[in-house]
Amino acid sequence: MSLGLFLVGVDNSVLYTALPTLRAELDASELEALWIINAYPLVLAGFLLGTGTLGDKIGHRRMFTAGLVIFGVASLAAAFAPSAWALVAARALLGLGAATMMPATLALVRQTFRDPKELSTAIGVWASVALLGAAAGPVIGGALLEHFWWGSVFLINVPVVLVSLIALPALAPPNEPHPDKHWDFASSLYALVAMFGLVMFIKELSAGRSPVVLALSAAALAIGATVFVLRQRRLTEPLLTFDVFRDRLFTGGVLTAGLGMFVLAGAELLTTQRFQLSAGFSPLEAGLLTAAGALASFPTSIAGGALLHRLGFRTLITGGFTVVALGGAAVYAGVAGDTLWPVIAGMVGVGAGTGAAFGVASTAIVGSAPRHRAGMAAAVEEVSYEFGTLLSVTVAGSLITMFYARQVSDSESFDASAYDASYLAVMAVLTAVAVLAAALTAILFRGNPKETSYAHEQEDADPAGDRGDRRKVRAVGGDL
């Protein structure tokens, strides 16, 4: 499961360093470059809720296996894509494979570990693997581009998929299907339409090129979101039950995942781009710069999960965002002063802070839903992370393009000083988001709870998880 999760994380960020090479090799336009990156998190986030509940129905082990197969086939298609739009299509298929795998990984973790302390530690390890994959993506991409053609950043997935498929029967828990569960594909489609509309709306709003496209994007966002919400209210077993957000720990976990990934993904993407385009770093050198964050996130994520019962959610999450904000300020100061060591220290701070927060944010989400909703909770958790990434790439990429365009004309060659000024402006925005996240989580995790509402839930004797719950629940810290 960890290998599959690592792959998903790597593919989310591997193009951060590879994008300049891809644009040159495929002659990709700005719009094509946006969708080469965003097709993956868009499809991933759009289908996560649906694949989570489908996993509840047919079994999460079966879903994980199917996701691995799809991911392997899509990796081959991406590696040998003949054009930019063919690569976009392959990236979308990669997103579908990742959406099939990701909720299954977390649901299987919860099925395997029943003790609250063991579960918190296991989720901390799970989160650290996801973080390590996302943070290692730029390094892997840069290293491969030093020696191979651009398709190698996707081809490397194939042997890992094969190893995972071979090891899965021996290591994964048994498949536990619940055939009585309902799966609704239409809801996933509506969510995908809404997210597509959001991405295009932000892109066109910053570019200011086509009022027609802007209006159509806004309509897709509004219609997709409205139809999705109305459909959930009519379904007897919806993909998302909005009542779970009444638990402030659940809501706090969702905000932590989304806002944390917004800052982390934006910082990684823009920092690798800035040091390649403006400072003359190679893809590998730029990737190694972000590796500082990866190295820092891994131990803090594991430690956060293991120490949750002692330190509490507020200490780890609000404290983590405070460290992230300080790290963002250090990166800003380093680039402004043309000094590298504050940038490295700042990336360490961003990585360490998000690692501590993410290590327990997943616990706050999956632990605040009953066990028979494990697939839904896992899907919401994953959507939070992926939506944060999707929004970050769209907003941060659009902002830096807009700021840069205001300082130079279309006829001018690349202006490093203008790009640096634009980079600093967006880093200031990301740092402000980290401060906002610290304030919001301080409120949501007030009282510094150390357990979630369903931390001590007992399994029902009915293996199908009958909805007529007779579970014993001890509510701790949540507003139910």
Q: What is the pLDDT of residue 468?
A: 37
Nearest to 353 by CA among 476, 260, 284, 227: 260
Q: Assess contact for 309 and 364: CB atoms under 8 A.
A: no
219 lies in which domain range? Answer: 185-234
Q: What is the pLDDT of residue 460?
A: 44
- The position carrying tokens 């894509």 is 81
Nearest to 363 by CA among 254, 228, 240: 254
Residue 298 lies in a domain: yes
Q: What is the pLDDT of residue 475?
A: 32
Nearest to 394 by CA among 294, 270, 283: 270
337 and 372 housed in the same domain: yes
288 and 429 housed in the same domain: yes
Dihedral Cα 117, 123, 125, 130, nearest 10 deg = -170
144 and 97 housed in the same domain: yes
Q: What is the pLDDT of residue 185?
A: 81
**Domain CATH number, residue 357:** 1.20.1250.20
218 and 365 housed in the same domain: no
Token digits of residue 63 = 């879903």
| Rounded Cα–Cα distance for residues 287 and 29 (Å) | 23
207 and 296 housed in the same domain: no
Nearest to 16 by CA among 239, 228, 291: 291
Residue 478 lies in a domain: no
168 and 286 housed in the same domain: yes
| Rounded Cα–Cα distance for residues 261 and 389 (Å) | 5
196 and 336 housed in the same domain: no
Sequence-distant (≥ 6) Cβ neighbours of residue 437 within 8 angstroms: 255, 256, 259, 260, 263, 321, 324
Token digits of residue 350 = 């961003």
Q: What is the pLDDT of residue 339?
A: 92
| Rounded Cα–Cα distance for residues 104 and 407 (Å) | 47
Residue 458 lies in a domain: no
169 and 194 housed in the same domain: no
259 and 294 housed in the same domain: yes
179 and 189 housed in the same domain: no
Q: Which residues of the chain have pLDDT under 50?
A: 458-480
Residue 454 lies in a domain: no
Counted domains in the chain: 2
| Rounded Cα–Cα distance for residues 361 and 260 (Å) | 10
Residue 221 lies in a domain: yes
Q: Kind and range of the H or E element at 387?
A: helix 374-407
180 and 36 housed in the same domain: yes
| Rounded Cα–Cα distance for residues 304 and 360 (Å) | 6
